[in-house]
């Protein structure tokens, strides 16, 4: 997509007429450090002046405004009131004000369809007299109102919106978040508050992963045993699903369901074992991994079952797409079934890949019968499938690009697996269309965007927000903003502000850390625990599941590691400061490091009584000891550097060995400051 907007002469004239004061000198500031916008808009120009927000401020529309934009306007004013504490005079819940009576004015031409094709662009002009938002569709208005809220600032005179001109549009049209509710059930309020978070950073697709080996999470009238036998009683009613769909639509977000087949299907087969490729009975899985149960692709009754099932689901979910999963079928039950072997021979299917392609083709015809398009993970891609399917890449970008070269639309999720607790920087620099990709223009157009994936093996309703936010805001920016917006440090600066703002939407990513720590300590005073948890991170990737304790669906997710954020911001800051100090020997930086290290060194004595009083905290004693050891080594290194004396080589080597020990996982977490201390030790050696 081009990085600039195209608006009709009428819209440009309307902006000029209603915001004459905006005709001041404009200075280009696409990444101005005075703004905390995320995602960064396509074009930003600051203008002299401020629009002052007072109790008299109201919101209104030019022309007709439909239900979605009216609700968005009411939410905007409600959030603005909460942010500013102002008692607005407008009864914004009752309706919109007249255009000549408002400070916030918007205009759009049509209602945008929620099918992934709508124009979400907008133009925003803020003058000292008015905030005016223009868009081709109401979806652009929703995106623009979020930008206005991000612009709200304060000074000694009160709250204001800086005068600015913005022209904005998304780089990719599919900007999604997958929430896995199959492995661990997530109540409706979890889904809704994360929809609010998605809307705040301009994401537009909720990928609702509803079935897994560990649970079938949706009421079915056609096959009620699916939810009664396959869910442990934790499932969404049809009315709850409709409620979520409406809630999402009001925020300009589509809801795409995923029903994972033919593998990852133990919960289905618990209810209907006759549809499996091996004899039952089956039980809901409590462990994590890839399991054998699979639908019998050679049984015609399976396709009759799915015809009825998808007829019901197509009527319930209005989105044009249905995700069928299609991943990680190990094929063992197919290999062990003589009837399946005979079927493959009869159909001329060379192997299980060909059999799954046959299965996918049959499911595709069923979905098409009910007006739906098919989405699936990499494994569904087989030459010969119709080109209106979408391939979601989890194994790597190469498969995404290869499917595009063959004419298939695709989504990137590889590199956006937020459950793996990688730093925001890693996700931020992961681009669905990197500069060096060799695709023709028509092939590039087939890369629809991407999705962050929140798999739920190691999260509960009280910790899932902290694994999604704020890092998903960085992914949202990668999918919305121009490709050349790649300043990592500026991203982190803005991410801190966005993280706090997300709390006003009810997200629990920040506040629940203290709650978990208080529960572990059994007391309100958790200062020493906070000091430790702020400098540790959960193990990355799948390492946590490979430790001595084997996690299951029933394992508690209430331990110290569950309170730790995926990325330690204090540790990152410490590492960066240590790097700068190593380069400059600046004494001020050195004293900053010393103060932090002294605090960490002293924390062990403060934390010890809490550990002794709580058996659940016993596992963190080695972490606490390592923090003290690393801090002491860091202080000794600083002393040598600031004194200008050469460190003893034996001391340095012993220190580096001790730090290697401190790097090793304890309590399923790792100490994130160690590399910064290593930098200080190496600096004493002139490295």
Residue 18: CB atoms within 10 A of its CB come to 20
Decide if 223 contacts 272 (C-beta within 8 A).
Answer: yes
Q: Which residues contact 12 (CB under 8 A, 6 or more apart)?
A: none
> Which has the closest alpha carbon to 627: 652, 654, 605, 657?
605
- Which residues are bridge partners to 218 per DSSP? 236
| Pair type for strands 174-180 and 447-454 | parallel
- With a CB cutoff of 8 Å and minimum separation 6, the contacts of 344 are 298, 350, 351, 354, 355
Q: Would you say the C-alpha torsion 177, 178, 184, 186 has a positive or negative sign? A: positive
Q: Classify residue 87 as exposed, middle or buried by CB count within 10 Å of its CB (0-12, 13-18, 19+).
A: exposed
H helices of 172-235, in order, are 188-200, 225-229
Residue 577: CB atoms within 10 Å: 18
DSSP 427-470: HHT--SS-TT----HHHHTTEEEEEEEE--TT--TTTHHHHHTT
Q: How many CB atoms lie within 10 A of CB 187?
A: 12
Q: How many Å apart are CA 256 and CA 115, to the nearest integer?
A: 10
Task: Say which DSSP state 420 is in.
Answer: G
Range 483-517 burial, b when 16+ CB lie within 10 A, else e: eebeeeeebbebbeebbebbeebebbbbebbeebb
The closest alpha carbon to 429, from 383, 369, 486, 481, belongs to 486
Q: How many CB atoms lie within 10 A of CB 189?
A: 10
Annotated active-site residue 489? The verdict is no
Compute, in degrees rounded to 10, the torsion defined by CA atoms 301, 351, 336, 278. Answer: -30
- Cα–Cα distance between 508 and 135 in angstroms, integer? 32
DSSP letter, residue 674:
H
Instruction: Please give the C-alpha separations between residue 512 and each of 53, 138, 472, in angstroms, as whole numbers.
Output: 32, 35, 18
Phi, psi for residue 625 in degrees, rounded to 5 = -65, -40
**What are the beta bridge partners of residue 393?**
412
Of the listed 101, 156, 328, 451, which one is catalytic?
328
Spatial separation of the C-alpha atoms in residues 273 and 226, rounded to whole Å: 11
Q: Give the separation between CA 477 and CA 475, rounded to whole angstroms.
A: 5
Q: Tokens in use for 237?
A: 């009613």
Beta-strand relationship, 158-168 and 211-212: unpaired
Q: How many CB atoms lie within 10 A of CB 110?
A: 13
Whole-angstrom distance, CA of residue 472 vs CA of residue 647? 43
- The phi and psi torsions of 215 (rounded to 5 degrees) equal 175, 140
Distance CA 212, CA 209 (A): 8
CA distance 36 to 29: 12
Q: Which residues have CB under 8 Å from 2's CB, separation 6+?
A: none
Q: Are 167 and 402 in contact (CB under 8 A)?
A: no
Q: So which residues are the catalytic ones? A: 328
């Amino acid at each position: 997509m081009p990085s600039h907007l195209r608006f009709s002469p009428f819209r440009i004239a309307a902006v000029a007429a209603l915001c004459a004061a905006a005709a001041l000198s404009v200075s280009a500031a696409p990444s101005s450090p005075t703004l905390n916008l995320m995602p960064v808009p396509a074009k930003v120009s600051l203008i002299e002046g401020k629009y002052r927000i007072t109790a008299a401020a109201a919101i209104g529309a030019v022309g007709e405004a439909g239900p979605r934009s009216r609700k968005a306007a009411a939410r905007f004013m409600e959030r603005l009131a909460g942010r500013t504490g102002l008692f607005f005079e407008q009864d914004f819940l009752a309706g919109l004000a007249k255009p000549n009576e408002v400070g916030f004015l918007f205009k759009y031409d049509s209602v945008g369809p929620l099918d992934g094709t709508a124009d979400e662009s907008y133009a925003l002009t803020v003058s000292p007299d008015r905030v005016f938002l223009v868009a081709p569709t109401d979806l652009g208005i929703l995106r623009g109102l979020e930008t206005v809220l991000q612009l709200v600032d304060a000074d000694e005179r009160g709250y204001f919106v800086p005068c600015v001109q913005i022209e904005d549009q998304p780089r990719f049209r599919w900007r999604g978040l997958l929430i896995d509710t199959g492995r661990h059930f997530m109540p409706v309020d979890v889904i809704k508050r994360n929809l609010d978070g998605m809307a705040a950073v301009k994401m537009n697709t909720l990928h609702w992963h509803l079935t897994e080996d560990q649970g079938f999470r949706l009421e079915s009238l056609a096959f009620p045993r699916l939810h009664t036998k396959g869910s442990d009683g934790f499932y969404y009613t049809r009315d709850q699903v409709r409620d979520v769909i409406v809630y999402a639509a009001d925020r300009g977000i589509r809801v795409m369901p995923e029903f994972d087949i033919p593998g990852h299907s133990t919960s289905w087969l618990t209810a209907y074992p006759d549809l499996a490729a091996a004899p039952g009975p089956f039980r809901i899985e409590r462990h994590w991994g890839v399991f054998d149960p699979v639908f019998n692709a050679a049984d015609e009754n399976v396709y009759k079952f799915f015809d009825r099932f998808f007829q019901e689901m197509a009527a319930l979910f209005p989105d044009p797409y249905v995700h069928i999963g299609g991943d990680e079928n190990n094929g063992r039950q197919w290999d062990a079934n003589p009837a399946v072997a005979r079927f493959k021979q009869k159909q001329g299917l060379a192997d299980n890949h060909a059999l799954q392609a046959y299965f996918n083709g049959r499911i595709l015809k069923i979905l098409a019968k009910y007006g739906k398009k098919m989405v699936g993970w990499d494994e569904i891609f087989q030459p010969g499938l119709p080109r209106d399917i979408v391939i979601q890449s989890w194994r790597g970008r190469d498969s995404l690009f290869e499917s595009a070269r063959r004419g298939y639309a695709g989504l990137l999720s590889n590199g956006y697996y937020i459950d793996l607790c990688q730093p925001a920087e890693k996700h931020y620099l992961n681009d669905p269309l990197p500069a060096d990709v060799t695709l023709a223009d028509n092939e590039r157009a087939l890369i629809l965007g991407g999705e962050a994936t929140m798999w739920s093996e190691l999260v509960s309703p009280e910790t899932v927000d902290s694994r999604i936010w704020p890092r998903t805001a960085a992914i949202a920016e990668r999918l919305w903003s121009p490709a050349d917006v790649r300043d990592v440090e500026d991203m982190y600066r803005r991410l801190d502000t966005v993280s706090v703002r997300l709390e006003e939407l009810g997200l629990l990513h920040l506040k629940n850390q203290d709650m978990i720590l208080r529960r572990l300590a059994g007391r309100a005073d958790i200062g020493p625990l906070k000091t430790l948890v702020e400098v540790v991170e959960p193990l990355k990737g799948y390492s946590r599941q490979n430790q001595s304790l084997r996690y299951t669906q029933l394992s508690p997710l209430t331990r110290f590691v569950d309170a730790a954020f995926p990325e330690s911001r204090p540790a990152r800051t410490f590492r960066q400061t240590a790097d700068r100090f190593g380069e400059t020997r600046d004494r001020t930086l050195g004293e900053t490091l010393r103060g932090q290290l002294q605090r960490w060194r002293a924390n062990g004595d403060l934390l010890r009584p809490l550990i002794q009083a709580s058996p659940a905290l016993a596992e963190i004693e080695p972490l606490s000891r390592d923090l003290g050891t690393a801090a002491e080594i860091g202080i000794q290194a600083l002393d040598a550097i600031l004194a200008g004396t050469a460190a003893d080589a034996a001391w340095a080597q012993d220190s580096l060995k001790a730090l290697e020990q401190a790097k090793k996982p304890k309590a399923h977490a790792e100490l994130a400051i160690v590399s910064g201390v290593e930098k200080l030790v190496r600096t004493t050696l002139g490295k």
